[in-house]
């Protein structure tokens, strides 16, 4: 990409359209919508840890509708089997051959609801799909659709009857955040909107999946300067050295943070990543990847406070060495 | 006790505030000395009223009325007198005062400050005192910082003591005691304020206060009684005065300083005319010559023999001489030969040679002088007065430089004591004359001093010692000129008893002559200030006008002229050996011991010997330095003169100002630099400079703060969006790697405005 035309991004207004489209359904959650779009643009997936009924499904459905994408929902239950997720080959007696019945994961946008209520076996079937972008059924590897975006939700861990996701699995999600309750005014607004008819039904596509793929490619062209990369590395590195952390963020975290920053810059119509982008995304991208020491847990230190400490401590590079 | 319910009104607070009253009193005390203020007690009483009023916190109106009344009453006491509470008392005063105020406000408006009348000035002074007493209260109990005031008081008294006739000794002691108590009690107030509630603060901590008083009293008494060093610096006043006026005096004036009849101050220096002595003089530190020699001694110039009752004159007795055959002392005196070279400064104008001890020879090759064209001066010696110089008729000869050989004598006390008394007729003729109108009591005094002595040496020593034992004081400023018909020596010995070298030396000569001891008055310079240690024990000396001196030479038959030093605080370097035999015996003993030691420690390390000898070498100059300082009477540092003081004050002031303004100066440099050299490619650098300047001025960027966040803070601080804009440009450069968007011409104005704002 031409360096000097970095500000001119074809997809940026489209993204804004999608965000506004979704916002008409999910009131007052612009940041969460944007984060979801960032994840989608950079090929990552999102884990929502939230109580039921705050509009997770609505958000995903609205995104899917705005893109005109295929949307599937998997409700995870303790008795769900891996094949219920990925699909299964069934013998067709008419044609006398096995026929593949795709599971719900074979869609562009998948809502994996209450992922921590199912068995680890089924969880890992989904998570393999997240990481590889493909599933293997009966020895046959099948590619998932492109673009592919999963929004998983989990109940807060304190709730009973859950199988918490292990750290390795958590690491596969780009972001983890909560939607949270709307404010009074927003909730009132929600009531007014759904009074006659649910606004989701009025959502119309504003773009196509092809355009989304183009945008995903454009995101890769967003320039990340060496000093910004170094900033990401020092942030992630610092998380590994923090006293309250027993297991810090992985190199995968660095990669994902960088890609997400590119997508965020892209969304703002900027052709290069600022440390501000990294700083903004770091809490969502790093918090769920840190395993705190038991001491820290006893003193009520949370991963959120650790990340905000890191952000306050790690020096933001300002290119002092540059003499241009 | 309802009064005590207000804050800061406990007895304890009253105690502290009362101490403050005493401290402020110290400011008033010297007023009568250096101003024409009288009736000081009225001011003190008024101040007391003010303090009470302020302490009781009577409210503005009541306080104002009381203070006004008190000041009117005070004015009445000072200026108008009579009963205050009578028909023509207070009322009249008020009427007068009103007239004064109207009159003087008019004067003030017209800026005619000199015309302001005394009552009005006093009234303003009263108001000032009232204001100060309130200010001190505020300082004491609200800011709780009183150190500045204490320091100011000390400085005030010290300055007055130095520059005026105010005697600050007792005041300083009082201030120290008061301040100690005050600061400690104030600290107690602070501590108790933190720890206890208001109720406990009302009680006076008796034990604590008693202990404090004991400690302060004991430490002050010890400090007062303990021996103290003399001032290490000479009085700065003459130096400062000279700095202010010194440039006006020319060197030539010093050599011909005119006799001062009206008691005006002369300047210290070597003068040809000594016919009218007396009067004070001011210091002059200009260098006369530099000398290099391995043997210090007074630099003798000439002597005079005729005492007129007001000063000295000399018989002319110049003789052409190829060698200096006038004997200062004969061969019987032990003398060592030394060399010295003398270089006069450009300002000095002398045709006389100055030499320590006895001149032997002047190296003609080294001789350098200035004279009118075509003339050759000749050496002329004055054997009578022991002086040698270059002369050529009436032409002015000016010596620049010479090297000479001289003898440094060492007189044997016994030999001096046993010297015969039969003086040559010539000596008796020239050196025992006294004016006929010399008061008889001078001779009586001489008899009294020398009672019990039977030889010239002891007589001379007794008179020499007399000045140092009696209550004579060394004084250069306040020395009166003898009145008409009054004898110079008589005035000094019996009336003033203070003076400088001329007084002491002349008096000693006259005292000796009353005993028919031939003596003469010698002029020259003291050895000077040692500057640097050169090779072979040779030291470089700087002799300045300060060193101009006069002393006494006494004639001993068959021995010669022996110098004596009557002036307090001075010490001649002439050696008087107590008993040559004993001394030599001691030396022998020492040597024996040393040899024994060496014999015993044959295998002693050679290095040790070397070291010890080095140590000895090193210790020698330092001891002689010490002696020099003692000889000077005061340990005056040679570098502490007007020029260096002035220069360092200016340099210090410059440094301080530059330091205080450093950011402004650096900012100015940046501005100029980027106006001249700024272009698009230097934008990044310029932005970094701006960041640095902001950081220096206290707008700190936190570690985890991004430029954008910082810029927002900065913009909020300066209430304009320039930083945000510049930061965006910089971000594009720094994080985006773009350069095409940069336009220095476009952004320069914003950058400059921010930089100016940041650096100011």
Complex prediction ipTM: 0.86
Give the confidence band of B4 by pLDDT, cuts at 50, 70, 90. Answer: very low
Q: Where are the alpha helices (DSSP H) in chain A?
A: 12-23, 30-41, 56-67, 82-86, 120-132, 167-170, 184-194, 209-220, 226-241, 251-267, 275-286, 294-298, 303-313
CATH of the domain at A275: 1.10.8.80
Q: Is the pLDDT of residue A192 over 60?
A: yes
Chain A partners within 8 Å of B682 (Cβ): 324
Is the Cβ–Cβ distance between B407 and B396 less than 8 Å? no
Give the confidence band of B247 by pLDDT, cuts at 50, 70, 90. Answer: very low
Is the residue at A176 inside a domain? yes
Interface contact flag, A319 B732, Cβ < 8 Å: no
CA angle B318/B324/B328 to nearest 5° reads 90
Mutation to test the A interface, candidates B735, B739, B741, B742, most A Cβ within 10 Å = B735
Is the Cβ–Cβ distance between A59 and A31 less than 8 Å? no
Look at residue A224 in the predicted model and tell me its pLDDT. Answer: 92
Round to whole Å and give the CA distance between B505 and B664: 62
Examine the domain organization and report whether A65 and A182 are in the same domain. Answer: yes
Is the residue at A324 inside a domain? no
Q: Tell me the mean pLDDT in the region B716-738.
A: 88
DSSP-derived pairing of the beta strands B548-556 and B519-525? antiparallel
Q: Is the pLDDT of residue B632 over 70?
A: no
Is the residue at A292 inside a domain? yes
Give the confidence band of B500 by pLDDT, cuts at 50, 70, 90. Answer: confident
Residue A315: which residues within 8 A CB-CB, separation 6 or more? A234, B703, B704
Is the residue at A55 inside a domain? yes
CA separation (Å) from B484 to B474, B491, B506?
A: 24, 11, 18
CA B494 to chain CA mean position, Å: 30
Examine the domain organization and report whether A147 and A274 are in the same domain. Answer: no
Higher pLDDT, A19 or B382: A19
Chain B partners within 8 Å of A275 (Cβ): 706-707, 735
Look at residue B249 in the predicted model and tell me its pLDDT. Answer: 41
Which residue does chain B place closest to A323, by CA atoms?
B685
Check if A5 contacts B (Cβ < 8 Å). Answer: no
Q: Tell me the mean pLDDT in the region B520-528.
A: 87
Round to whole Å and give the CA distance between B399 and B351: 6
Look at residue B320 in the predicted model and tell me its pLDDT. Answer: 62
Is the residue at A41 inside a domain? yes
Check if B732 contacts A (Cβ < 8 Å). Answer: yes
Say which residue the tokens 């900033």 belong to.
A231
Give the confidence band of A256 by pLDDT, cuts at 50, 70, 90. Answer: very high
Examine the domain organization and report whether A216 and A253 are in the same domain. Answer: no
Top mean pLDDT of A168-172, B2-6, B569-573 is at A168-172
Examine the domain organization and report whether A93 and A197 are in the same domain. Answer: yes
User: Token digits for B271?
Assistant: 């003068």
Check if A324 contacts B (Cβ < 8 Å). Answer: yes
Residues of chain B with pLDDT > 90, as a percent, come to 2
Structural element, H or E, at residue B51? helix B40-56
Mutation to test the A interface, candidates B683, B688, B704, most A Cβ within 10 Å = B704
Q: Is the pLDDT of residue A233 over 90?
A: yes
Look at residue A283 in the predicted model and tell me its pLDDT. Answer: 93
Higher pLDDT, B263 or A289: A289
Round to whole Å and give the CA distance between B10 and B24: 21
Domain final position from A188, A220, A252:
A220
Is the residue at A156 inside a domain? yes
Chain A partners within 8 Å of B731 (Cβ): 274
Q: Tell me the mean pLDDT in the region B40-49.
A: 88
Which residue does chain A place closest to B688, by CA atoms?
A320
Examine the domain organization and report whether A194 and A286 are in the same domain. Answer: no
Chain A partners within 8 Å of B688 (Cβ): 318, 320
Q: Helix B11-28 crosses helix B169-195 at what angle (to 10 degrees)? A: 150
Q: Is the pLDDT of residue A294 over 70?
A: yes
CA separation (Å) from B502 to B30, B136, B159, B279, B527?
A: 35, 53, 31, 10, 17
Q: Is the pLDDT of residue B259 over 80?
A: no
Chain A partners within 8 Å of B741 (Cβ): 4
Look at residue A265 in the predicted model and tell me its pLDDT. Answer: 92
A191-205, B2-16, B47-61, B114-128: which range is least confident on average?
Answer: B2-16
Give the confidence band of B321 by pLDDT, cuts at 50, 70, 90. Answer: low
CB environment A49-85: b (16+ within 10 A), e (fewer): bbeeebbbbbbbbbbbbbbbbebbbbebeeebebebb
Check if A323 contacts B (Cβ < 8 Å). Answer: yes
Å between B741 CA and nearest CA of chain A: 8
Chain B partners within 8 Å of A274 (Cβ): 706, 708, 731, 735
Round to whole Å and give the CA distance between A29 and A55: 10
Is the Cβ–Cβ distance between B162 and B236 less than 8 Å? yes
Interface contact flag, B685 A323, Cβ < 8 Å: yes
Look at residue B324 in the predicted model and tell me its pLDDT. Answer: 58
Domain final position from A189, A220, A251:
A220
Examine the domain organization and report whether A109 and A248 are in the same domain. Answer: no
Check if A300 contacts B (Cβ < 8 Å). Answer: no
Look at residue B7 in the predicted model and tell me its pLDDT. Answer: 59
Structural Rg of chain A based on CA atoms: 21
CATH of the domain at A130: 3.40.50.300
Residues B171-211: tens digit of each pLDDT:
888 898 889 888 888 887 777 665 544 555 556 667 778 88
Å between B716 CA and nearest CA of chain A: 19
Q: How many Cα atoms sit within 13 Å of A26 on the Cβ side?
A: 25
Chain A partners within 8 Å of B708 (Cβ): 274, 276
Q: Tell me the mean pLDDT in the region B309-332.
A: 72
Look at residue A258 in the predicted model and tell me its pLDDT. Answer: 95
Look at residue B201 in the predicted model and tell me its pLDDT. Answer: 53
Round to whole Å and give the CA distance between B305 and B407: 23
Examine the domain organization and report whether A236 and A152 are in the same domain. Answer: no
Look at residue A159 in the predicted model and tell me its pLDDT. Answer: 63
User: Token digits for B591?
Assistant: 């040597």
Examine the domain organization and report whether A124 and A35 are in the same domain. Answer: yes
Look at residue B193 in the predicted model and tell me its pLDDT. Answer: 62
Chain B partners within 8 Å of A225 (Cβ): 734-737
Round to whole Å and give the CA distance between A29 and A180: 9
Domain final position from A220, A249, A271:
A220
| Phi/psi-derived region of residue B551, left when phi > 0, alpha when psi is between -120 and 50, beta in every other case | beta
Is the residue at A288 inside a domain? yes
Which residue does chain A place closest to B728, by CA atoms?
A274
Higher pLDDT, B639 or B257: B639
Examine the domain organization and report whether A72 and A178 are in the same domain. Answer: yes
Domain that holds residue A290: 222-319
Look at residue B641 in the predicted model and tell me its pLDDT. Answer: 67
Å between A311 CA and nearest CA of chain B: 5
Residue A313 has its nearest CB partner, among B703, B708, B735, at B703
Round to whole Å and give the CA distance between B87 and A315: 84
Look at residue A261 in the predicted model and tell me its pLDDT. Answer: 95
Examine the domain organization and report whether A67 and A147 are in the same domain. Answer: yes
Tell me whether the omega of the peptide bond preceding residue B20 falls within 30 degrees of 0, making it cis.
Answer: no
Domains of chain B: 2-225 (no CATH), 253-257+264-280+288-572 (3.10.620.30), 661-759 (no CATH)
Beta bridge partner(s), residue B530:
B541
Residues 164-223 of chain A with CB under 8 A from chain B are 223
Give the confidence band of B499 by pLDDT, cuts at 50, 70, 90. Answer: confident
Look at residue A235 in the predicted model and tell me its pLDDT. Answer: 93
Is the Cβ–Cβ distance between B70 and B84 less than 8 Å? no
Examine the domain organization and report whether A199 and A310 are in the same domain. Answer: no
Look at residue B322 in the predicted model and tell me its pLDDT. Answer: 55
Å between B710 CA and nearest CA of chain A: 11
Give the confidence band of A320 by pLDDT, cuts at 50, 70, 90. Answer: low
- Give DSSP secondary structure letters for A47-65: EEE--TTSSHHHHHHHHHH
User: Token digits for B377?
Assistant: 């001066």
Structural Rg of chain B based on CA atoms: 38
**E strands present in B449-502:** 473-474, 498-499
Higher pLDDT, B449 or B393: B449
Examine the domain organization and report whether A74 and A183 are in the same domain. Answer: yes
Based on the structure, what is the number of domains in chain A?
2
Is the Cβ–Cβ distance between A173 and A44 less than 8 Å? yes
Q: Is the pLDDT of residue B588 over 70?
A: no
């Amino acid at each position: 990409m031409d360096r000097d035309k970095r500000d001119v991004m074809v997809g940026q207004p489209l993204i804004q359209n999608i965000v506004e489209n979704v916002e008409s359904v999910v009131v007052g959650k612009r940041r969460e919508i944007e984060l979801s779009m960032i994840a989608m643009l950079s090929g990552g997936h999102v884990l929502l840890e939230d109580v039921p009924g705050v509009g997770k499904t609505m958000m995903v459905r609205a995104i899917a509708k705005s893109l005109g994408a295929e949307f599937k929902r998997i409700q995870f239950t303790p008795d769900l089997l891996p094949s219920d997720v990925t699909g299964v080959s069934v013998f067709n007696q008419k044609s006398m051959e096995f026929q593949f019945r795709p599971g719900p994961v074979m869609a562009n946008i998948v809502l994996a609801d209450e992922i921590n209520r199912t068995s680890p076996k089924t969880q890992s079937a989904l998570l393999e799909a997240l990481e590889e972008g493909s599933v293997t059924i009966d020895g046959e590897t099948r590619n998932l659709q492109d673009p592919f975006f999963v929004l998983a939700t989990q109940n807060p861990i304190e709730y009973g009857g859950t199988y918490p996701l292990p750290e390795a699995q958590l690491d596969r999600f780009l972001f983890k955040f909560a939607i949270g309750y709307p404010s009074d005014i927003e909730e009132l607004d929600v009531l007014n909107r759904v009074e006659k008819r649910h606004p989701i039904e009025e959502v119309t596509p504003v773009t196509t999946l092809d355009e989304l793929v183009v945008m995903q490619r454009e995101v890769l062209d967003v320039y990340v300067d060496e000093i910004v990369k170094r900033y990401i590395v020092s942030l992630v590195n610092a998380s590994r050295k923090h006293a309250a952390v027993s297991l810090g963020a992985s190199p995968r975290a660095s990669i994902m943070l960088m890609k997400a920053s590119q997508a965020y810059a892209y969304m703002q119509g900027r052709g290069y990543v600022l440390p501000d982008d990294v700083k903004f995304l770091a809490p969502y991208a790093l918090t769920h990847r840190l395993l705190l020491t038991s001491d820290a847990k006893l003193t009520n230190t949370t991963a959120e406070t650790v990340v905000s400490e890191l952000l306050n401590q790690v020096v933001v590079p300002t290119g002092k060495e540059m003499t241009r | 006790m309802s009064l005590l319910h207000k804050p800061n009104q406990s007895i304890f607070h009253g105690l502290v505030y009362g101490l403050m009253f005493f401290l402020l009193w110290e400011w008033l005390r010297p007023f009568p000395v250096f101003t024409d203020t009288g009736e000081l007690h009225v001011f003190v009483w008024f101040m007391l009223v003010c303090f009470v009023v302020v302490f009781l916190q009577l409210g503005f109106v009541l306080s104002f009325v009381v203070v006004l009344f008190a000041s009117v009453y005070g004015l009445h006491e000072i200026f108008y007198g009579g009963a205050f509470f009578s028909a023509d008392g207070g009322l009249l005063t008020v009427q007068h005062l009103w007239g004064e105020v109207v009159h003087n406000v008019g004067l003030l408006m017209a800026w005619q400050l000199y015309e302001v009348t005394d009552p009005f000035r006093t009234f303003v002074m009263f108001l000032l005192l009232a204001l100060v007493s309130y200010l001190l209260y505020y300082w004491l109990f609200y800011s709780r910082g009183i150190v500045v005031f204490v320091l100011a008081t000390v400085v005030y008294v010290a300055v007055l003591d130095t520059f005026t006739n105010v005697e600050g000794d007792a005041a300083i002691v009082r201030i120290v005691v008061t301040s100690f108590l005050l600061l400690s009690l104030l600290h107690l107030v602070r501590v108790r304020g933190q720890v206890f509630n208001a109720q406990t603060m009302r009680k006076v901590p008796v034990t604590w206060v008693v202990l404090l008083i004991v400690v302060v009293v004991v430490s002050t008494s010890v400090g007062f009684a303990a021996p103290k060093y003399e001032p290490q610096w000479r009085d700065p006043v003459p130096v400062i005065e000279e700095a202010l006026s010194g440039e006006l005096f020319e060197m030539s004036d010093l050599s011909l300083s005119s006799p001062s009849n009206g008691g005006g101050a002369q300047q210290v220096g070597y003068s040809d005319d000594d016919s009218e002595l007396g009067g004070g003089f001011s210091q002059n530190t200009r260098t006369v010559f530099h000398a290099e020699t391995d043997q210090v001694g007074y630099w003798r110039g000439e002597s005079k023999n005729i005492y007129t009752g007001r000063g000295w004159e000399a018989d002319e007795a110049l003789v052409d001489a190829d060698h200096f055959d006038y004997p200062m002392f004969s061969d019987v005196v032990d003398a060592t030969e030394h060399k010295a070279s003398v270089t006069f400064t450009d300002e000095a104008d002398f045709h006389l040679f100055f030499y320590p001890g006895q001149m032997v020879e002047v190296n003609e090759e080294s001789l350098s002088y200035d004279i009118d064209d075509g003339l050759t001066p000749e050496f002329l010696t004055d054997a009578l007065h022991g002086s040698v110089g270059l002369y050529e008729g009436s032409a002015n000869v000016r010596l620049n430089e010479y090297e000479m050989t001289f003898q440094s004598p060492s007189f044997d006390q016994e030999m001096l004591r046993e010297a015969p008394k039969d003086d040559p007729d010539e000596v008796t003729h020239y050196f025992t004359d006294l004016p006929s109108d010399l008061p008889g009591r001078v001779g009586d005094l001489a008899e009294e001093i020398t009672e019990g002595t039977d030889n010239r040496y002891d007589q001379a020593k007794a008179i020499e010692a007399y000045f140092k034992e009696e209550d004579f004081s060394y004084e250069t400023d306040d020395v009166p000129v003898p009145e008409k018909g009054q004898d110079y020596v008589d005035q000094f010995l019996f009336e003033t008893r203070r003076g400088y070298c001329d007084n002491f030396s002349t008096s000693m000569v006259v005292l000796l002559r009353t005993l028919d001891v031939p003596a003469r008055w010698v002029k020259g310079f003291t050895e000077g200030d040692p500057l640097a240690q050169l090779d072979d024990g040779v030291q470089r000396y700087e002799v300045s006008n300060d060193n101009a001196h006069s002393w006494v030479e006494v004639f001993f038959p068959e021995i010669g002229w022996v110098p004596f030093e009557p002036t307090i605080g001075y010490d001649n370097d002439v050696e008087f050996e107590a008993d040559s035999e004993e001394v030599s015996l001691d030396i022998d003993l020492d040597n024996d011991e040393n040899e024994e030691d060496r014999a015993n420690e044959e295998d002693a390390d050679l290095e040790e010997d070397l070291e010890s000898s080095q140590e000895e070498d090193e210790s020698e100059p330092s001891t002689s330095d010490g002696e020099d300082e003692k000889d000077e009477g005061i340990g005056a540092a040679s570098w502490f003169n007007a020029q260096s003081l002035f220069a360092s004050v200016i340099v210090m002031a410059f440094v301080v100002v530059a330091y205080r303004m450093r950011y402004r100066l650096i900012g100015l440099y940046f501005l100029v630099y980027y106006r001249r050299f700024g272009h698009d490619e230097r934008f990044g650098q310029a932005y970094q400079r701006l960041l640095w300047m902001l950081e220096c001025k206290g707008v700190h960027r936190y570690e985890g703060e991004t430029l954008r966040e910082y810029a927002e803070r900065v913009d909020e601080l300066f209430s304009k969006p320039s930083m945000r804009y510049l930061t965006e440009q910089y971000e594009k450069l720094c994080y985006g790697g773009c350069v095409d968007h940069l336009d220095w011409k476009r952004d320069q104005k914003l950058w400059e405005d921010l930089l100016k704002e940041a650096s100011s």
